[in-house]
Amino acid sequence: MRLRSALAPVLSVAAALALTGTAAASATPVSAPAGATSRLGTCQEKALDVRAAPGGQRNVARISVTNHGDRACVVDRIPTVTFRGLDGSADAVPPAGSGPYTLSAGERAYAAVRTADPAATEGHVVGSLSVAADPSHTGLTFRAAAVGMPEGVHVWEPVTTLWQETQAAADSALAGAPR
């Protein structure tokens, strides 16, 4: 009797778990609405056009990505901006975690990256920066002069905006970021 009464709670828990698993398995799955981001795949890198250009200040570059594919897809909402020979990437402003950003066919998204002031004495100077629309992509490398930094890219606590619908929104997001 004692053995049976000691096993009773364990058997009750096991039975409850089994029933819960059975109920969950037989429940009708809820599907996401048509066109939901979760159903879209990551954009193929070859379907994207990534660009970088001077940003109007000696330590700012404007970046963009265009989906040249024939359907909507997703990239990470934070562009991956890295600097030649240095570990890490630019931090997102505002601080954000990884997540999907949907690009419809033919759509362009914009971001901006800010590095150290060229007159700063701290940090490193590199000859290029690389931009990828998604961390799973290789990205493209842009020479410092091509992004308006002819003395090199001065790297000290670099920041990048999230992808935005317009260049003005990206510029505004960067302007509001702490220096």
Which residue, 65, 69, 102, is CA-closest to 81? 65
Does 128 score more than 70 pLDDT?
Answer: yes
SS3 78: coil
Does 110 score more than 90 pLDDT?
Answer: yes
pLDDT at 178: 80
* 38 Cβ contact partners less than 8 Å away, ≥ 6 residues apart: 32, 100
Res. 26 pLDDT band, cuts 50 70 90: very low
Res. 38 pLDDT band, cuts 50 70 90: low
Does 78 score more than 50 pLDDT?
Answer: yes
Which residue, 46, 106, 19, 33, is CA-closest to 71? 106
Res. 75 pLDDT band, cuts 50 70 90: very high
Any idea where the domains of the chain sit in the sequence? 43-175
pLDDT at 176: 82
Does 90 score more than 70 pLDDT?
Answer: yes
Which residue, 7, 10, 116, 138, is CA-closest to 58? 116
Which percentage of the chain shows pLDDT scores above 90? 73
Q: Which helix (H) or strand (E) holds 67?
A: strand 60-67
pLDDT at 173: 94
- Asked if 126 and 115 touch (Cβ cutoff 8 Å), the reply is no
Greater model confidence, 3 or 95: 95
pLDDT at 4: 32
For the stretch 158-174, pLDDT in tens is 999 999 999 999 999 99
Mean pLDDT over the full length of the chain: 83
pLDDT at 15: 36
**DSSP state, 109?**
E
Does 130 score more than 50 pLDDT?
Answer: yes
**DSSP state, 147?**
G
Does 44 score more than 60 pLDDT?
Answer: yes
**DSSP state, 102?**
E
